[in-house]
Chains A and B, each alone.
Chain A
Amino acid sequence: MYKKILWLLVWIAPLSHAQERSLRLGNDFGVLHFNSLEEQVNANRYKGGSFSSFNPAVYILKDKNSWFIRFESKRQTLKRANDQFNSIFTIDLTHYMFDIEYYRKIISLSPRASFHLGIGQNGHFNFQELIESQFGFNPSRSVDMAAVNLSINPMFRWDWKKSKLYVRGSLSFFNYGARLNEDTMGDDLKFFAASLDQYLDFQFTASWFLALSKRWDIKPEYRLRYYAFEKNGQVKFLKQSWFLGIYYKI
């Protein structure tokens, strides 16, 4: 499905107009897909994805300085990744994400390409609840939250007459997060701080801004985020999105 959408987007690129204004307000639509191994709810991998329609964003895209601010929310049912079994369990995932990234141009690599370096704050909140289709099982739940999640972000930018391509990465170096508090049998949250060696978190994003007119852009985007850590159980979380954004330029 997402591949068809991408094909469509690639072929409407020639319709685009020249890029001019720097502030863009808009919303992304598309498929959001999750893979999760959250040991607090179960030791196996569960996955699932579907259409996501509320992902507002603000971008300030100047030659030397760029800001990317995004919010994402999604509720998703995850099923056992290994689908050869009739599992009695599914996971109800509630996901929120709030990213702020700032970039500064470091060097021009060619008339069209440039390299930028930035910092980011990538906060998220995931609540997972194990749903059982059989009587006799207690509900099991988990919280995985990153309140402060600072990253260093390299970015490559290509400028064409009617479009700009931003390829960004991020690697977190400090995390201040929370899990359910085992001292209260999970009734509240317990916060912890973790550095790069305890908390692996990276992202890759390719965003292509295509100018439809002086006031409107569309933006096909692919994003991958993966993080893994072990705190009161192992967590591995992979999120991929294939979005199309509609942006108004101010």
Chain B
Amino acid sequence: MKKRLLLLVMVVGLSACGNLFFDKEDNSNLATFDAFYQEIDAHFSFFPLLTINFDSAYTSNRAILQSNPTRETLINRLQEMINVLGDGHTNVYIPQTIRYDFTAKFPVNKLESIDAYLDKSSNSSQVMVYGKIKNENLGYIDITTFGASESNYLLIDRILRDLTGVTGIIIDVRSNGGGNSKNADLIISRFNDQSRMMFRSRERVGKRDEFGAWVEGFTTIFEGTRFTGKVAVLTNRGCYSTTEWFIAGMRTIPQVTVVGDTTGGGSGRPLPRELPNGWAMRISNTQRQLPEGRDYQFSGIYPDVPVWISQAQIDNNIDAILEQAIAILK
């Protein structure tokens, strides 16, 4: 009996000691704010490009939160900190998103509708709207997002069959905020004739200015039917993240011209994290450079042919960017 009791006491006692090995979590608003700062401090990859002192912003915002540690103050202070970082990939989900609006300071450069220019195909989907430009032998594809499931993007093969015989294609990715890079690669591959270096990336591995080695990324090729004619890609400040990945790939193809406005400038790969109070967050933790050696974070990818739509043109439903693309492809 003594033997049984000894074993039982020992095992049950040890079973309960799991919590001893981990620090007790502090889920307060101040601890959440501090954890947010620590995550940024440990992982954010664009400190070398920042012009605002993030640490000073932390100190002043923390003092405000400390004097009034409510949920609302926490949200406001986090918004302030995210604005300081100026990165669309670094955000907090509460579940509504606290994010930096990278498009706010710039004109949209896209009309609400371009139906006046387009004979739209009835086979268009919500993800890919396509058709022929009226009175021209040119195709048009509007890719609204790269965030849908892969099967949505396989429509590109049907689109290219339907557009057989056109002399050029306009791919409109304006205001496409990104999604899954595999979907971008899939579309690139239908226009690409050979694998080319589209960018190089590196991951932050230590202090704010310590990174791993550069890893080159290459465009992919599709073995089936590809479009080999001239292509114009339409861009604006709403092009972000995977859409910039797409543009970075397309601009390596010789017959492609990028027309419109500079893109939003989000080159980092967002790392998912969780704050102590259960809110999710993302942090950019990589850098990415175009083949010419320029990181397009904050500054964006420049178009080959810069065009803006003036207010007068908007009022008259004139899409100057689309018209410039038509002129280039004719």
Interface residues, chain A, with chain B CB atoms under 8 Å away: 2-3, 6-7, 10-11, 13, 33, 35, 37, 42-45, 80-82, 84-89, 130, 132, 134-140, 160, 165, 181-187, 204, 206, 208, 220, 222, 224, 226, 228, 232, 236, 238, 240, 242
Say which residue of B8, B22, B205, B271 sits within 8 Å of A182 (CB atoms). Answer: B205
The answer to whether A238 touches B278, judged by C-beta atoms less than 8 angstroms apart, is no
**Does B265 make an interface contact (CB < 8 A)?**
no
Chain A contacts of B14 at CB under 8 A? 204, 206, 222, 224, 240
**5 closest A-B pairs by CB:** A85-B278, A182-B205, A183-B212, A137-B272, A182-B212
The answer to whether B11 touches A137, judged by C-beta atoms less than 8 angstroms apart, is no
**Known contacts A87-B274, A134-B93, A140-B272: does B8 contact A6 (CB below 8 Å)?**
yes
The answer to whether A35 touches B18, judged by C-beta atoms less than 8 angstroms apart, is yes
Would you mind naming 8 contact pairs between A and B with Cβ atoms under 8 Å apart?
A10-B8, A11-B4, A43-B39, A45-B22, A80-B274, A84-B278, A134-B93, A238-B22
Assembled-state Cα–Cα distance A1/B272 (Å):
34
Chain B contacts of A232 at CB under 8 A? 205
Say which residue of A10, A85, A139 sits within 8 Å of B277 (CB atoms). Answer: A85
Chain A contacts of B17 at CB under 8 A? 224
**Does B154 make an interface contact (CB < 8 A)?**
no
Q: Which of B237-268 contact A (CB under 8 A)?
A: none
A211 to chain B, nearest CB (A): 15
The answer to whether B147 touches A42, judged by C-beta atoms less than 8 angstroms apart, is no
Chain B contacts of A132 at CB under 8 A? 272, 280
Known pairs A44-B274, A87-B278, A134-B95. 17 more at Cβ < 8 A? A6-B12, A45-B25, A82-B25, A82-B276, A84-B27, A84-B278, A88-B95, A136-B147, A138-B272, A183-B213, A184-B213, A185-B202, A185-B212, A186-B203, A220-B7, A238-B21, A242-B11
Give the residue name and chain of the B residue nearest to A167 (CB): B10
**Does B273 make an interface contact (CB < 8 A)?**
yes
A75 to chain B, nearest CB (A): 20
The answer to whether B282 touches A80, judged by C-beta atoms less than 8 angstroms apart, is no
The answer to whether A206 touches B7, judged by C-beta atoms less than 8 angstroms apart, is yes
Give the residue name and chain of the B residue nearest to A3 (CB): B12
**Known contacts A89-B274, A137-B270: does B3 contact A160 (CB below 8 Å)?**
yes
Assembled-state Cα–Cα distance A88/B147 (Å):
18
B207 to chain A, nearest CB (A): 13
Give the secondary structure class of B's interface.
Answer: mixed
Give the secondary structure class of A's interface.
Answer: mixed
Chain B contacts of A240 at CB under 8 A? 14-15, 18
The answer to whether B21 touches A184, judged by C-beta atoms less than 8 angstroms apart, is no
**Does B230 make an interface contact (CB < 8 A)?**
no
**Known contacts A134-B93, A183-B213, A206-B10: does B276 contact A44 (CB below 8 Å)?**
yes
**Does B201 make an interface contact (CB < 8 A)?**
yes
Question: B1-43 vs A: 1/0 string, CB under 8 Å?
Answer: 0011001101110110110011001010000000100110000
Chain B contacts of A135 at CB under 8 A? 147
Assembled-state Cα–Cα distance A224/B205 (Å):
32
Chain A contacts of B38 at CB under 8 A? 43
**Does B269 make an interface contact (CB < 8 A)?**
yes
Q: Which of B276-313 contact A (CB under 8 A)?
A: 276-278, 280, 282, 286
Assembled-state Cα–Cα distance A240/B13 (Å):
13
Interface residues, chain B, with chain A CB atoms under 8 Å away: 3-4, 7-8, 10-12, 14-15, 17-18, 21-22, 25, 27, 35, 38-39, 93, 95, 147, 201-203, 205, 212-213, 215, 269-274, 276-278, 280, 282, 286
The answer to whether A10 touches B7, judged by C-beta atoms less than 8 angstroms apart, is yes
The answer to whether A138 touches B271, judged by C-beta atoms less than 8 angstroms apart, is yes
Assembled-state Cα–Cα distance A88/B279 (Å):
8
Say which residue of B8, B11, B21, B274 sits within 8 Å of A226 (CB atoms). Answer: B21
**Known contacts A88-B93, A88-B280, A184-B213: does B22 contact A138 (CB below 8 Å)?**
no
Assembled-state Cα–Cα distance A183/B205 (Å):
8
**Known contacts A85-B278, A185-B215, A185-B286: does B4 contact A13 (CB below 8 Å)?**
yes
Say which residue of A11, A33, A138, A242 sits within 8 Å of B270 (CB atoms). Answer: A138
Chain B contacts of A224 at CB under 8 A? 14, 17
B16 to chain A, nearest CB (A): 10
Say which residue of B8, B22, B39, B277 sits within 8 Å of A37 (CB atoms). Answer: B22
Say which residue of A6, A140, A185, A220 sits within 8 Å of B201 (CB atoms). Answer: A185
Assembled-state Cα–Cα distance A127/B14 (Å):
26
Assembled-state Cα–Cα distance A60/B271 (Å):
48
Chain B contacts of A37 at CB under 8 A? 22
A136 to chain B, nearest CB (A): 7
The CB with the most chain A CB atoms within 10 A, among B4, B35, B201, B286, is that of: B4
Chain B contacts of A2 at CB under 8 A? 15
Give the residue name and chain of the B residue nearest to A36 (CB): B22
The CB with the most chain A CB atoms within 10 A, among B25, B280, B286, is that of: B280
Chain B contacts of A10 at CB under 8 A? 4, 7-8
The answer to whether A44 touches B25, judged by C-beta atoms less than 8 angstroms apart, is yes
The answer to whether B15 touches A182, judged by C-beta atoms less than 8 angstroms apart, is no
Give the residue name and chain of the A residue nearest to B22 (CB): A45
Assembled-state Cα–Cα distance A6/B7 (Å):
10
B15 to chain A, nearest CB (A): 7
The CB with the most chain A CB atoms within 10 A, among B12, B25, B278, is that of: B278
